[in-house]
Each structure stands twice: as structure tokens, then as C-alpha cells.
């Protein structure tokens, strides 16, 4: 069976042959793709633009021009136009981004940590690191998380009076450490 030229294939497509468009795609996609790669597109962009060129082929199916029975010249011109439109859109987008105000520079996170690592913070960390785990949990739950002493005690599994006593001792140790840094070293409660 003799292969049909694109014009005859296109007439079959317009008449309702669903496989004819697939045949046109198979016949010309590689050539359109190579043309778009040669135009300077990345392979992934060339794939997208190839699909866009064939979408234009379908969208403008009533206005397609054949050159000696072939769709390829029309497809290559359409692919070039799709490429130029995409390039223009990228340039406009970059230009838009360049016109936006630049964000203020953010401080280095390492510098922020160093600022927080004041002598006072080191003293508090030293006291907390030598405290019992339950005392640390109580402090976190009541101070940072906003729970009441009763709620924090219930979460840890101790009585409310025991929690109050532990928090009182921890506060005393923290106060002493902040008033006399030399006493901070190695005194667990």
C-alpha cells in the first residue's frame, strides 16, 4: 500500500479518520523537535513547543497550507512562531521580575543564633541541662506552651503540688544562676 502524502492524509482526517492525526504526528514530530532544539530551546522546552505547534495545527486545521503535499513547511514555520512567542513571554516575565522591588537582605541565621547565645542564655541553658527531665518538661509546658500548672502536672503524671514544688526549685536555681554565674556549673536539682 502506497503511503499517502500529508494533504491526502489531512483530507481523511477532516472526513473523520481519527488515526490520521496520529500518523501526521508520527511523521513530523521528530523534525519539528529538532528544529526547536536548533532554535536554542532546551529538550524539555522543545517538547512543550512541539506539542504547542501540533496543537496549532489542529486548532487552525482549516487554514493549513501544504507545500507539494507536505505539512512540514507549515509546521516548521508554526514551530518557529511558537518559539518566538514563548521567548517573548519569558523576556516579559524576566523584565517584570526585574522591576519588582528586591527584598531586604535577611541576616545570616548563624548570626542570629550567636546573638541569642548571650551569657544569660548560656546560664539558663546550663541550669536546664542539669535539671531533671520532668522539671524541664514542666518549665516548657507552663512557660512556653501556656499550660496551667495543673494541666502540665497531669500531662507529666505528677500531682499539682509536686509540680509547683519542682517549678519553685527550678526558678530558684535559675535566679541564683543569673545572679551568680559561677554557681551555675554542675549543681543538679
What pLDDT, on the 0 to 100 scale, is given for residue 4? 75
Tell me the pTM: 0.52
Q: Which three cell numbers stand for residue 71?
A: 505539512
What pLDDT, on the 0 to 100 scale, is given for residue 110? 63
In this prediction, the residues of the chain whose per-residue pLDDT falls under 70 are: 1-3, 110-117, 181-189
| CB proximity list for 83: less than 8 A, separation 6 or greater | 36, 39, 41, 49
What pLDDT, on the 0 to 100 scale, is given for residue 69? 83
| CB proximity list for 137: less than 8 A, separation 6 or greater | 152, 155, 156
What pLDDT, on the 0 to 100 scale, is given for residue 149? 93
CB < 8 Å & 24+ apart, contacts of 113-119 = 119/181
Measured between alpha carbons, how far is 44 from 28 in angstroms, rounded to an integer? 18
DSSP class per residue in 120-177: HHHHHHHHHHTS-HHHHHHHIIIIIS---HHHHHHHHTS-HHHHHHHHHHHHHHHHHH
Helix (H) or strand (E) holding 13: helix 6-14
User: 35 and 76 in contact (C-beta within 8 Å)?
Assistant: yes
With b meaning 16 or more CB within 10 Å and e meaning fewer, what string describes 94-130?
eeeeeeeeeeeeeeeeeeeeeeeeeeeeebbebbbeb
In Å, how far are 118, 119, 133, 173 from 179, measured between CA atoms? 15, 12, 24, 10
CA dihedral 21, 23, 24, 28 (to 10 degrees): 140
Amino acid at each position: 500500500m502506497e503511503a499517502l502524502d500529508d494533504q491526502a492524509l489531512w483530507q481523511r482526517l477532516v472526513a473523520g479518520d481519527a488515526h490520521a492525526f496520529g500518523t501526521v504526528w508520527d511523521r513530523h514530530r521528530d523534525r519539528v523537535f529538532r528544529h526547536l532544539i536548533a532554535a536554542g530551546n532546551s529538550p524539555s522546552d522543545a517538547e512543550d513547543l512541539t506539542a504547542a505547534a501540533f496543537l496549532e495545527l489542529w486548532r487552525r486545521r482549516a487554514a493549513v497550507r501544504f507545500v507539494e503535499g507536505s505539512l512540514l513547511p507549515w509546521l516548521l514555520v508554526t514551530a518557529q512562531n511558537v518559539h518566538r512567542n514563548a521567548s517573548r513571554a519569558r523576556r516579559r516575565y524576566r523584565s517584570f521580575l526585574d522591576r519588582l522591588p528586591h527584598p531586604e537582605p535577611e541576616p545570616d541565621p548563624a548570626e542570629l543564633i550567636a546573638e541569642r547565645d548571650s551569657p544569660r542564655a548560656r546560664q539558663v541553658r546550663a541550669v536546664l541541662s542539669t535539671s531533671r527531665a520532668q522539671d524541664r518538661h514542666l518549665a516548657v509546658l507552663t512557660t512556653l506552651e501556656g499550660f496551667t500548672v495543673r494541666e502540665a502536672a497531669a500531662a507529666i503524671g505528677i500531682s499539682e503540688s509536686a509540680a509547683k514544688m519542682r517549678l519553685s526549685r527550678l526558678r530558684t536555681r535559675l535566679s541564683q544562676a543569673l545572679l551568680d554565674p559561677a554557681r551555675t556549673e554542675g549543681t543538679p536539682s
